[in-house]
Amino acid sequence: MMILHASRIARDCLHTLIRGPWKKEEILQQIATQGVGSVPIVVVATAFAGLVITQEIAFHMDHALHTTSMIPGFTAQFILRELGIAVPAFLLVSKVGASMTAEIGGMKVTEQIEALQLLGIDPVKQLVFPRWIAGILSTLALTLLAMAVTLFCAIVMAVLRYHFSWQEYLNTLRHFVGLKDLLAAMVKALTYGAVIPLIACTYGFRCEGGAQGVGSATTQSVVTATIAVIVLDFILTYLFTLIA
């Protein structure tokens, strides 16, 4: 039932995407909430992730290969293909997805959604579509920011601790990553940005039982969205390896 309900909401969002109308003020407000509001936590988390990944890769390369010369290539590949995409997605699930489910779930249990329907207003167009579009745009922007911050911090760690020069690091990096990696990251980001709001809103619309029901729906939403991101990551990564 949950999948069926989510597919209906997705269909209505696609219909609104093509035919309109677009509520631009609502979309901009949601971009500010989801995107701009998530910048600090994404920057902090990915900055430390960049520092950690350089140390981890250097440690294992030194013990296994007795050299750290390949740090730039392996670090950049892992950041652009996985870490820089997955970290912001999981942060958005826990921050934006949970908030979205709680907000719409609160409207559901207080019968505000039914009131919209009685007024002839489509709840999907009014509530879901702006969040869906904002989620796609925000996730894409945050993913690009996260990859840039993670890679920058990884370079800083490599330069300060493992005595790489900036030019040496960037020259080595170019042999391991290219436009295909960036395009794959953008496709993943767009997919996560589309799926997370749909799952969050679906659980919000199906919320029942007052405040306790809102809490339960929020928990289920976060768990489902997290699993969805992991499964989609595997599927997309597998497809990209076949194409490459």
DSSP letter string over 16-72?
Answer: HHHH----HHHHHHHHHHHTGGGHHHHHHHHHHHHHHHHHHHHHHHHHHHS--TTHH
Q: Of all residues in the chain, what percent carry a pLDDT higher than 90?
A: 36
Q: What is the pLDDT of residues 64-99, one digit of tens each?
A: 777 777 777 788 888 888 888 999 999 999 999 999
The pLDDT assigned to 107 comes to 87
Please check the confidence at residue 215 and state whether its pLDDT lies above 90: no
How high does pLDDT run on average in the chain?
86
The pLDDT assigned to 120 comes to 81
Contact 134, 200 (CB under 8 A): no
The pLDDT assigned to 71 comes to 77
Please check the confidence at residue 193 and state whether its pLDDT lies above 70: yes
- Show the tokens assigned to 80: 């652009």
Contact 84, 143 (CB under 8 A): yes
244 — pLDDT class (breaks 50, 70, 90): low
Long-range contacts of 70-75 (CB under 8 A, 24+ apart): 70/172, 71/158, 71/162, 71/164, 72/155, 72/158, 72/164, 72/168, 72/169, 72/170, 72/172, 72/173, 72/176, 73/172, 73/173, 73/175, 73/176, 73/177, 74/176, 75/151, 75/154, 75/158
Contact 42, 142 (CB under 8 A): yes
Domain ranges in the chain? Answer: 23-243
Among 97, 108, 98, which Cα is nearest to 132's?
A: 97
The pLDDT assigned to 134 comes to 92
The pLDDT assigned to 209 comes to 78
Please check the confidence at residue 203 and state whether its pLDDT lies above 70: yes
The pLDDT assigned to 169 comes to 79
User: Can you tell me the mean pLDDT for 207-234?
Assistant: 89
The pLDDT assigned to 55 comes to 86
Contact 50, 169 (CB under 8 A): no
Contact 150, 45 (CB under 8 A): no
Q: What is the pLDDT of residues 90-145, one digit of tens each?
A: 999 999 999 999 999 888 888 888 888 888 888 888 888 999 999 999 999 999 99
Contact 139, 92 (CB under 8 A): yes
User: Can you tell me the mean pLDDT for 168-196?
Assistant: 86
The pLDDT assigned to 1 comes to 65
